[in-house]
């Protein structure tokens, strides 16, 4: 042991006889541990030394409470994806080292706290037993397909052997991350440890069974998988479901599924197939694009326009408790220790918002993601106010986020009042979708404390926040708002200058308006439902008409009208299009729009609505020819809008594409609307 020179691990002998503890430790500057090539080689050294002087039991753990291991080092993943010539060699080496754990003549236990993902879980699965700390921060998963690749250190072969094929598919292909309790139910965790502090390993009772007899644990397999053709049936059903979910746009989930299905072969053949499929996935443009995006997002999260020390904004006001205000308030509340004041003039809006916040907190507790006491403490940090008079807490707010109706006169009245009632220097921001921020701020005596802070719907789930200062904005204000955005766990994109609709809404409005224009302009009335499909098949998260149903035709039409007035040259004029005027076809809000909606899902086209709007197709269309040509025309208009944003110096190409992906679900497979790698 003395000869070992380790930089990524700490290895020590416990005071408990025969117990040795190997802790992954990527240093204090790394927020999360990763399994780099070096960490693997050092693990190999430990395993080799142990062969001559082996312990009675070895525990592999992490020196960080919140990260067992986040997976393979993504910098190294990028390297191998850009130059895959040595890929197979690297994977074989990893298999070889992890096999040494499996074949060790003494039990090796993984003690898991925090995130245990990708290569981290593959390391834990190579161990003979997994003890998992039962804490809301514990998560076990294999999310490689999100980067366009598949698990490559044996995950697709070992997980099905531990939890059965059906459960493995949910984790590997579906990207499900398991809580500690779920890991136990699945049979992935052999034992739950209920104390976070139990990381004082000496206090843990590993059980005489493990220590003295080193018995294998019995694994669960579902009834279906035990039938003669059960596994084949599971694979073919999963293939259909995956094709439907990915619309054939993403190769990695299908390749991962193929690898999982190969787990019914011998381990060595299965591992070999996994490596071949990994190489195939790594060579796709989708993998290059998704990995590239990972770094662009990382840069956006790190970026700071100001080096100066930025004080946190601890008391957050949110005015307007509608769809946006209630979800923004929830996102601020769940950010560390923020006190939130939520105000609305309309009492039912406040009641609805409070019910929403309480329900969300209860859901988190039920899912095991939050402790009950923490949920109660979070709820206690919320103060509400309603009517014309504000609560005194408004005067203590560090920042006030305006999320009231999209009406310039209303916003002017509110901002004038807010400037009077807040403390000097308090930051005032607007969540406007389609008004020019500097025009909103024109009533302020101190516009230097103002900027746009644009969240997406629903704000507690959507990752992106666009931030844009006006000419007078003090850079320190932007830095503080950026910090708050990060504290809320979101990705900030700071625009270099303002414009109506900021960035995402400009391209999104092109998408929606050009789609309406095209299905209503051509005499044949191109099939709008097929146009939705055609867009989804090239990587748009949602077709334009489904998106309109989600936004609601009332809100959508209002925003489109304002955007058209601001950009009359680039946006089409829809004045010949019959705007729906009845209140029963507002999309998901009323269950009917361009589609009939049930339980939040579009179940069939709503022909009646299309007839009323005079956009019912007049001939049979197929998913080729005209529909694809129309899609490409619309995509080129979106590209032009995105390029106009770039050429006007509003944002870089990276930030434009990242925003369009995070805020509008626009083609992550192609790396956004402007895009890079071939597709
Ligand atoms: P909403 O209609 O759901 O909610 C607006 C709320 O503001 C209502 O509860 C209303 O009672 C309240 N309100 C109106 N005037 C007020 C005042 N003077 N003081 C206090 N409360 C007042 O609207 P929403 O969808 O939440 O949109 C709010 C803002 O966010 C708008 O500027 C909108 O453009 C923007 N936005 C909306 C979305 C979206 O998808 N809905 C996305 C991003 C930004």
Lowest-confidence segment of 35-39, 68-72, 188-192 by average pLDDT: 188-192
Q: Measured from the CA of 346, which atom of ligand 1 is nearest?
A: 11
What pLDDT is attached to residue 218?
63
Spatial CA neighbour of 643 closest among 653, 635, 634, 633: 653
Whose structure tokens read 């925090």? 114
Name residue 385's beta-bridge partners: 343
Q: What is the largest CA-CA distance in the chain?
A: 84
> Which of 91, 78, 105, 444 is CA-nearest to residue 259?
91
**SS3 of 265, please?**
coil
Quick count: other Cβ atoms within 10 Å of Cβ 123?
Answer: 27
User: CA–CA separation, 23 vs 44, rounded Å?
Assistant: 14
For the chain, which residues make up each domain, given as ranges?
A: 9-283, 311-494, 504-678
Which of 318, 319, 321, 322 has most ligand 1 atoms within 8 Å of its beta carbon, as the pocket-test mutant? 322
C-beta separation of 326 from 332 below 8 A? no
**For 360-384, how does the pLDDT look when each residue is reduced to its tens digit (9 = 90+)?**
999 999 888 888 999 999 999 999 9
Measuring from atom 43 of ligand 1, which residue has the nearest CA?
456
Helices (H), 303-346: 323-334
Side-by-side strand order, sheet with 382-386: 382-386, 339-344, 315-319, 399-402, 427-430, 450-455, 464-469, 491-495
Task: Look at residue 56 in the predicted model and tell me its pLDDT.
Answer: 86
267 CA distance to ligand 1 centroid (A)? 57
Q: Whose CA is nearest to atom 11 of ligand 1?
A: 346
| Ligand 1: centre distance to CA 432 (Å) | 9
pLDDT tens by residue, 126-156: 999 998 998 888 999 999 999 999 999 999 9
Q: Which residues are catalytic?
A: 122, 144
Ligand 1 centroid to 326 CA: how many Å? 10
311-494, CATH topology level = Rossmann fold (3.40.50)
Cβ burial of 212 (10 Å; 0-12, 13-18, 19+) is exposed
Residues with CB under 6 A from ligand 1: 319-325, 343-346, 349, 403-406, 410, 414, 431-433, 455-457
Query: For ligand 1, atom 9, which residue shows the shortest CA distance?
Result: 322
Q: Which atom of ligand 1 is least distant from the CA of 434?
A: 34
Distances (CA, A) of 375 to 355, 368, 378, 379: 14, 11, 5, 6
Reported as a pLDDT band with limits 50, 70 and 90, residue 301 is: confident
Write out pLDDT tens, residues 627-640: 999 999 999 999 99
Question: Taking Cα atoms as reference points, which of 558, 535, 550 lies closest to residue 631?
Answer: 535
Instruction: State which ligand 1 atom lies nearest to the alpha carbon of 559.
Output: 34
- Where residue 207 falls among pLDDT bands split at 50, 70, 90? low
Q: Residue 211 pLDDT more than 60?
A: no
Residues of the chain above pLDDT 90, percent: 74
Distance of CA 345 to the CA centre of its chain: 33
Comparing 273-282, 389-398, 537-546, 619-628, the range with the smallest average pLDDT is: 619-628
Say how far apart CA 481 and CA 303 lie, in whole Å: 12
pLDDT of residue 196: 54
Mutate to test the pocket of ligand 1, among 330, 355, 404 (most ligand atoms within 8 A of CB): 404
Residue 195: pLDDT over 70: no
Question: At which residue do the structure tokens 């709008």 appear?
Answer: 528
pLDDT (0 to 100) of residue 209: 41
pLDDT computed for residue 441 by the predictor: 98
Q: Provide CB contacts within 8 A for 515, sequence distance 6+.
A: 528, 531, 544, 545, 634
Residues 411-436, mean pLDDT to the nearest whole number: 97
Candidates 416, 488, 412; CA nearest to 455 is: 488
Q: Which atom of ligand 1 is nearest to the CA of 326?
A: 26
The number of angstroms, rounded, from the C-alpha of 318 to the middle of its chain's C-alpha atoms is 24
C-beta separation of 449 from 428 below 8 A: yes
Pair 106, 54: CB distance under 8 Å: yes
Domains 9-283 and 311-494 share a fold: no
pLDDT for the residue numbered 216: 58
551 CA: nearest ligand 1 atom: 40
pLDDT tier at 679, thresholds 50, 70, 90: very low
- Tens digit of pLDDT for each residue in 241-270? 999 999 889 999 999 999 999 999 999 999
* Protein residue whose Cα sits closest to atom 25 of ligand 1: 323
Quote the tokens at residue 293: 């995006």
**CATH class of the region 9-283:** alpha beta
pLDDT band, residue 555 (cuts 50/70/90):
confident
- Identify which of 317, 318, 320 to mutate to test ligand 1's pocket (most ligand atoms within 8 A of the CB): 320
What residues form DSSP beta bridges with 399?
316, 427
Each residue's pLDDT tens digit, 449-476: 999 999 999 999 999 999 999 999 999 9
pLDDT of residue 308: 43
Beta-bridge partner residues of 23: 10, 61
End-to-end CA distance of the chain: give it in Å, rounded: 51
Ligand 1 mean position to 320 CA, how many Å? Answer: 6
- The domain defined by 504-678 carries CATH number 3.20.10.10: no
Residue 74 pLDDT exceeds 60: yes
């Amino acid at each position: 042991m003395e000869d070992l020179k380790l930089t990524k691990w700490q290895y020590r002998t416990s005071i408990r006889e025969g117990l040795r503890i190997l802790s992954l430790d990527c240093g204090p500057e790394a927020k999360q541990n990763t399994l780099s090539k070096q960490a693997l080689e050092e693990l190999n050294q430990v395993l080799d030394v142990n062969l001559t002087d082996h312990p009675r039991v070895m525990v592999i753990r992490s020196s960080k409470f919140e990260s067992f291991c986040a997976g393979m080092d993504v910098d190294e993943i990028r390297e191998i994806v850009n130059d895959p010539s040595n890929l197979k060699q690297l994977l074989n080496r990893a298999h070889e080292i992890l096999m040494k754990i499996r074949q060790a003549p003494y039990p090796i236990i993984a003690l898991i706290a925090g995130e245990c993902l990708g290569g981290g879980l593959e390391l834990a699965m190579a161990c003979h037993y997994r003890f998992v700390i039962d804490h809301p921060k514990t998560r076990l998963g294999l999310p490689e397909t999100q980067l366009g690749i598949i698990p490559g250190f044996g995950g697709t072969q070992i997980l099905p052997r531990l939890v059965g094929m059906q459960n493995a598919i949910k984790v590997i292909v579906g990207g499900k991350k398991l809580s500690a309790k779920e890991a136990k139910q699945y049979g992935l965790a052999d034992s739950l440890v209920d104390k976070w502090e139990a990381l004082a390993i000496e206090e843990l009772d590993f059980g005489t069974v493990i220590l003295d007899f080193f018995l294998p644990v019995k694994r669960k397999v579902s009834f279906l998988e035990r039938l003669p053709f059960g596994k084949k049936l599971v694979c073919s059903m999963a293939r259909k479901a995956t094709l439907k979910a990915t619309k054939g746009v993403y190769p990695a989930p299908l390749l991962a599924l193929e690898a999982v299905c190969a787990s019914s072969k011998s381990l060595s053949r299965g591992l070999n197939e996994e490596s071949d499929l990994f190489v195939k996935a790594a060579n796709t443009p989708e993998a290059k694009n998704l990995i590239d995006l990972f770094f662009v997002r990382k840069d956006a999260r790190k970026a700071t326009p100001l080096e100066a020390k930025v004080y946190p904004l601890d008391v957050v006001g949110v005015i307007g408790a509608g769809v946006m205000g209630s979800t923004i308030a929830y996102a601020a509340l769940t950010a560390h220790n923020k006190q939130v004041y939520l105000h609305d003039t309309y009492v039912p809006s406040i009641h609805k918002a409070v019910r929403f916040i309480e329900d969300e907190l209860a859901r988190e507790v039920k899912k095991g993601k939050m402790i009950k006491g923490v949920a109660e403490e979070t709820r206690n940090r919320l103060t509400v106010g309603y009517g014309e008079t504000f609560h005194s807490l408004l005067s203590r707010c560090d920042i006030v986020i305006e999320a009231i109706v999209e009406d310039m006169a209303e916003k002017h009245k509110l901002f004038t009042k807010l400037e009077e009632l807040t403390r000097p220097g308090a930051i005032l921001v607007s969540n406007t979708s389609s008004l020019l921020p500097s025009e909103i701020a024109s009533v302020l005596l101190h516009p230097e404390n103002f900027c746009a802070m644009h969240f997406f719907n629903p704000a507690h789930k959507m990752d992106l926040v666009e931030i844009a200062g006006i000419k007078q904005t003090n850079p320190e204000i932007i830095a503080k708002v950026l910090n708050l955005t990060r504290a809320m766990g979101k990705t900030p994109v700071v625009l270099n200058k303002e414009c109506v609709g900021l960035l995402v809404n400009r391209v999104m409005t092109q998408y929606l308006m050009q789609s309406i224009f095209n299905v209503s302009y051509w005499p044949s009335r191109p099939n709008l439902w097929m146009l939705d499909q055609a867009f989804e098949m090239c990587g748009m998260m949602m077709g334009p008409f489904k998106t309109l149903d989600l936004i609601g035709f009332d809100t959508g039409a209002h925003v489109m009208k304002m955007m058209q007035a601001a950009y009359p040259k680039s946006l089409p004029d829809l004045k010949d299009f019959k705007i729906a005027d009845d209140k029963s076809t507002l999309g998901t809000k009323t269950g009917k729009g361009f589609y009939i909606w049930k339980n939040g899902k579009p179940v069939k086209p709503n022909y009646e609505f299309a007839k009323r709007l005079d956009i019912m197709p007049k001939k049979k269309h197929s998913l080729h020819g005209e529909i694809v040509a129309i899609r490409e025309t619309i995509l080129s208009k979106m590209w032009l809008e995105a390029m106009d944003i770039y050429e006007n110096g509003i944002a870089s190409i990276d930030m434009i594409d990242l925003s369009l992906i995070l805020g509008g679900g626009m083609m992550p497979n192609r790396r956004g609307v402007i895009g890079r790698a071939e597709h």
